């Protein structure tokens, strides 16, 4: 199977969208990569950095001739985008995305694309501490997982095409039901982010209760730094992810609360063997994460 696009249009040319554009060009998968975005300065940077060939300020103009459209903006913006320019897409066009939540969103987007246009959800599990198109690179996805989330409505040819695109990005591609995707990512990504944000906020609370004026964070070692590194992640992105996965996150935060409570009870009871058991369980699970 060979995949080739005359034009790919990328909506939102940041770290992920920009890296995709670079690789599409480098691999010869697209004759032309067109960017769309709110910031003229960013689009100009994206051209200079080799992430896109050209850009359009008018999204409808950018969709003309596009055989593949990639949504690389926050998931909350998808509906607005599709309402704005969805109807100008030609039949056969594939619309895909790179969002971190899927679940019911996939069904909502499927309804919004016109008849004959195919939506395929995708989520590359890749990122960096730096964001923006200047951080885009051709090796961002190398060896990283990309989860594609087909449904019963997904066009099988469009699904194959997107699997091929993501393999060309260097990713390890897996297809998973959108709701299962949100359960899995809820556990291994969204919950750790809640935990890291909550830990930083707990430290702010404890700082306010610290007598004698000591600055707690001055005493932090590598452990706290590692544990809370992801608490610096993008505000808008994580707000939208939390809003997009509320049922799973509720259950998962409760699971974490239950485990914290278990530690608290054992500590209050000075139960050495009980603490050993809980710490040993955690260490064994962590060792499997290598």
> Interaction with a copy of itself in 134-153: which residues (CB under 8 A)?
144-145, 147
Stretch that binds a copy of itself, among 12-20, 30-38, 82-90, 125-133 (CB under 8 A): 125-133
- Per CB under 8 A, 210 contacts a copy of itself: yes
Q: Round to whole Å and give the CA distance between 48 and 111.
A: 36
Question: Footprint of a copy of itself on residues 166-195 (CB under 8 A)?
Answer: 176-177, 180, 183-185, 187-189, 191-195
Question: Footprint of a copy of itself on residues 252-281 (CB under 8 A)?
Answer: 252-264, 266-268, 270, 272, 275-276, 278-281
Minimum Å gap between C-beta 9 and a copy of itself is: 28
Contact 24, 169 (CB under 8 A): no
Q: Round to whole Å and give the CA distance between 266 and 121.
A: 44
Minimum Å gap between C-beta 66 and a copy of itself is: 30
- Per CB under 8 A, 211 contacts a copy of itself: yes
- Per CB under 8 A, 106 contacts a copy of itself: no
- Per CB under 8 A, 238 contacts a copy of itself: yes
Q: Round to whole Å and give the CA distance between 31 and 8.
A: 8
Q: Round to whole Å and give the CA distance between 72 and 74.
A: 7
Closer residue to a copy of itself in complex, CB, 61/256: 256
Q: What residues does 69 pair with on adjacent strands?
A: 9, 95
- Per CB under 8 A, 243 contacts a copy of itself: yes
Stretch that binds a copy of itself, among 24-32, 123-131, 154-162, 163-171 (CB under 8 A): 123-131
Q: Round to whole Å and give the CA distance between 94 and 2.
A: 16
Closer residue to a copy of itself in complex, CB, 115/289: 289
DSSP per-residue string spanning 34-80: EEE-S-HHHHHHHHHTTS-SEEESSHHHHHTT-SEEEE-S-GGGHHH
CA 45 to chain centre: 23
């Amino acid at each position: 199977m060979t995949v080739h696009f005359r034009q790919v249009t990328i909506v939102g040319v940041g770290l992920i969208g920009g890296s995709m554009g670079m690789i599409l060009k480098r691999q010869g998968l697209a004759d032309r990569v067109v960017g769309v975005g709110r910031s003229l300065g960013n689009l100009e940077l994206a051209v200079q950095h080799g992430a896109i060939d050209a850009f359009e300020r008018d999204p409808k103009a950018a969709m003309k001739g596009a055989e593949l459209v990639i949504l690389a903006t926050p998931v909350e913006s998808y509906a607005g985008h599709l309402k704005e320019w969805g109807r100008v897409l030609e039949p056969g066009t594939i619309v895909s995305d790179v969002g971190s939540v899927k679940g019911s969103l996939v069904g909502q987007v499927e309804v919004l694309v016109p008849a004959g246009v195919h939506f395929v959800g995708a989520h590359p599990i890749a990122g960096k501490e730096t964001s923006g198109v200047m951080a885009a690179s051709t090796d961002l996805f190398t060896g990283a997982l990309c989860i594609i989330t087909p449904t019963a409505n997904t066009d099988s040819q469009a699904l194959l095409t997107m699997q091929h695109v993501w393999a060309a990005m260097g990713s390890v591609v897996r297809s998973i039901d959108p709701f299962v995707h949100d359960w899995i990512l809820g556990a291994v990504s969204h919950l750790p982010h809640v935990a890291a944000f909550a830990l930083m906020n707990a430290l702010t609370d404890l700082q306010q209760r610290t007598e004698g004026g000591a600055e707690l964070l001055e005493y932090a070692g590598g452990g706290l730094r590692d544990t809370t590194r992801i608490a610096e992640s993008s505000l808008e992105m994580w707000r939208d992810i939390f809003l997009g996965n509320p049922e799973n996150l509720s259950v998962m935060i409760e699971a974490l609360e239950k485990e914290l409570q278990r530690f608290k009870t054992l500590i209050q009871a000075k139960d050495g063997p009980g603490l050993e058991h809980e710490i040993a369980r955690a260490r064994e699970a962590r060792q499997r994460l290598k």
